[in-house]
Structure 1
Amino acid sequence: MRLYHGTSSRHLDSILEHGLTPRGERQSNWQAVSASDRVYLTDAYGMYFAQSSREKASEDLVIVEIDTDLLPDPSALHADEDAAWFIFQHGALERRFRPPAGMTDGHEQAMHFSRMLRPLAEAGIGYEKSMELLGNCSHEGSIPPSAITNVVRYSAADGPWWLSFHDPVISVSNYRFHGSEYRATQLVVAGRLDEARQVDQLFPGFLDLDAVENMCALRRTVVDLHQPQTATSAVSARPRL
């Protein structure tokens, strides 16, 4: 299975050398703080996560593709805590996993679940369920370079052009109805237009994949996985017009 991680170009050198590493002590990008020991993956929202990772307008967007068959420990794949939170909200979570009484804030509840993802997986709420519900999952620990099969960099020099086709609301209901569009778009972003065309659409013809590809192709650079990037390359990419 191919999954994607979206991030900023400022992390590109580190990714090429060390793979995808958890944020550790770095500040989370999210109000509901993500787990510090995990890497988050998606089949739908790579550009959104890349956008959210940027700290400066000069930073490009980077999409990292991984092959789960190449992971040293496939059992390290777990749910995204948001999927566990949605299951809890619908009353379908075992009592032993529920947040403590009095914890009513949704962000705090999500943080509670982020600390329980391995036992949740052992109880049947693993990455498969998370991908089915939300299109996202997590990986405990680092993902080595050997599991990375492709890295694509997109210039942000001419503003947030990607918002014209990808500005999602991440929720179970939205993924249920629009997940096929998001998955197809993610494949285009990854440079896999032919595969994107094979994704069955809930509303055929609604999403113009060729138009998305044209926008992406003008700004896309496929990164050489064996060639470290220069420090200045984070701002050097420009649309190839």
Structure 2
Amino acid sequence: MDNRTDPRFTARQQGMPGTAVPRAGGASFDAGLRKHMLSVYNYMASGVLLTGLVAMFTASSGFINNFFTPTGPSILGWVVMLSPLAFVLALSFGINKMTTPVAQAVYWAFAVVMGLSMSTIFLTYTGASIAQVFFATAGAFAGLSLWGYTTKKDLSGMGTFLIMGVIGIIIASVINLFLKSSMFDLVISILGVLIFAGLTAYDTQKIKNIYFQVAGTEFAGKAVIMGALSLYLDFINMFMFLLRLFGSRE
């Protein structure tokens, strides 16, 4: 996926129930919530790990040459870059028609094609800087997600503003493909980090609140996948913007 083409905003349209006021349910209900959130984090972390492994293998094996040439992406390369968006759209708009196993399969396939599309970062940035930015992102993500989970403040009002920010970043990135302004790129990267930092906290609280509506229903398993997808996209995009800011180029 082209680093400047972000499907992030489509994951907001999940076809899932809206935010609900948590209901009191005692210790058993709290245990259910913890299990739900742990499943979301496990899927999210496993997806990120799979993406990283595929990206490293693709770059180190030379397989990347099938997708990207010195003059730009090949036809297959364009397919690889656009495929993640297709998977996000499929999950976002088709989740209600999918069974849980199908949704899981689509999620893993999405993680694989994301790895293929992100393999170029190993040709652009040094391995050390990629590792440093990754662990910095992981630390920031953990802190922001923990705050979103524990805060008593209602973050639902942030949603529209943040999604508008994502759309603005996409438009600005497309414009900068023609302007090629380093200053404009710097501003986009800084705003990108801030917006996806906010989305990490917002999405965590939203996933937590959605659980109160889907607990005990057949949609619960699919809610785990959609929650993992949202947090995955928050993490990956925050990582990519931080890499653009602090990564050391080859």
Judge same fold: TM > 0.5, yes or no. no
Q: Which has the higher contact order (CA 8 A, sep 6+)?
A: 2
More helix by share: 2
TM-score (norm 2): 0.28
TM-score (norm 1): 0.29
More strand by share: 1
